[in-house]
Amino acid sequence: MTTARSSDKKGYHHGDLKAVLLDETARILRDEGEEALSLRRLAANVGVSRTAPYHHFKDKQSLLGAVAEEGFIRFNRAMKIALDEGRGKGGERIMQDYVAAYVNFAVSNSEYYDLMYGSKLWRSESLTTSLLSSARGTLRSEVERIQLLQDRGLIAEDLDPLRFTQVAWGMLHGISRLLIDGIYTDSAAVTPICETAADMLWQQLKE
């Protein structure tokens, strides 16, 4: 989760300002919603001049895109940790940990996840090349991971890595959105749902 830094407005160096602005933006999105966000409000919260955020972000849309990119960085880090911690536990357990980590990240960091996979940014004409690269790179790394397992003979050789990754992504995104949007509210069922999803995906990998 993001830690707001606005309470320590002078506790950063000039070179850290962009990171501070991103952190505070994420906090505003999480606690107050996008309607409360403006570059002027952001500058006031952080304790810098009204023009300071514009040295890093052209406008609000650019700012939101940068938060989405930060989200991909954090997401990829969380997924890597889940995979690293699962080494030696067996493929089925690794898949369970991975699914749980995905859904937990999405729900616990919805201020990032909403932007990473939200229609407002993706339908925008000002979608940046760097955000596209972050999103596509995330998908590509997953496809490459499946291909590597396939090359080592650890999963089904006739599996299409791209199609599997797309379907797995759709499944986990759907579960995450139901939870984030408050459509599914039975918290006791989250773990069994994730375990069932993991079992279904694992069956496809090993067939």
Domain boundaries, the chain: 1-57, 67-206
Mean pLDDT of 3-21: 62
121 vs 47: which has the higher pLDDT: 47
Q: What pLDDT is recorded for position 8?
A: 44
Helix 129-151 to helix 161-180 angle, to the nearest 10 degrees?
Answer: 120
Per-residue exposure over 44-76, b if at least 16 CB sit within 10 Å of its own CB, e if not: ebbbbeeebbeeebeeebbbbbbbbbbbbebbb
CATH topology of domain 67-206: Tetracycline Repressor; domain 2 (1.10.357)
Mean pLDDT of 95-108: 96
Average pLDDT, the chain: 90
Chain-centre distance of CA 137, in angstroms? 13
Q: Alpha-carbon torsion 196, 89, 71, 45, what sign?
A: positive
Q: What pLDDT is recorded for position 87?
A: 84
Q: What pLDDT is recorded for position 49?
A: 94
Q: Is residue 72 scored above 60 in pLDDT?
A: yes
d(CA 83, CA 97): 8
Q: What pLDDT is recorded for position 15?
A: 61
Percent of the chain with pLDDT over 90: 80
Q: What pLDDT is recorded for position 5?
A: 43
pLDDT band at 159 (very low <50, low <70, confident <90, very high): very high
CATH topology of domain 1-57: Arc Repressor Mutant, subunit A (1.10.10)
Q: Is residue 14 scored above 80 in pLDDT?
A: no
